[in-house]
Amino acid sequence: MVTVVIVIHLMVVLAMIGLVLLQRSDGGALGIGGGGGGNFLSGRGAGNVLTRSTAIFACAFFATSIALTVLARMESRPSDILDRLSTDAPITAPALPAPVTPAPSDAPSAQSVLDSLGAPQATQEPAPAAPAPAVPVPEPAPAAPAGTTGQGQ
């Protein structure tokens, strides 16, 4: 049913576009369009036919638009998430994944690989502590001679 209404709607839309393009311009659009007397459909009678048919197709366009809206609303029922839950089925917690077990220790360790390559073994001895750097102590500034105040003499 919806497909039929959509096809009718598209035919009405295409007919309306064609009718609007066939109508004569009023000549107010910067001199563009059929403002002259040698148009394809000229005369007052042709203008009335195009105007009336455009109005009829406009009413058909609104009718099919409303029909599509009503049909779409009827097909999609509003639902609540609580309505989707079945009251018969108990609510259970989701299953937890199985714990990950380490792989078997068939793989050689890093130390055994180094031993097989003949690399010297690294010993982990603590590094000696570096002496603290000496901080120089600033010398005190020389005292000003007595009797001078630093102002002009």
The model's pTM: 0.42
Q: Report which of 64, 50, 65 is spatially closest to residue 16, judged by C-alpha positions.
A: 50
What are 74-121's pLDDT values in tens digits?
877 666 777 666 665 666 777 777 777 766 666 667 777 777 777 565
Distance set, CA 106 to CA 1, 19, 92, 114, 118 (Å): 68, 83, 40, 16, 21
Greater pLDDT, 62 or 28: 62
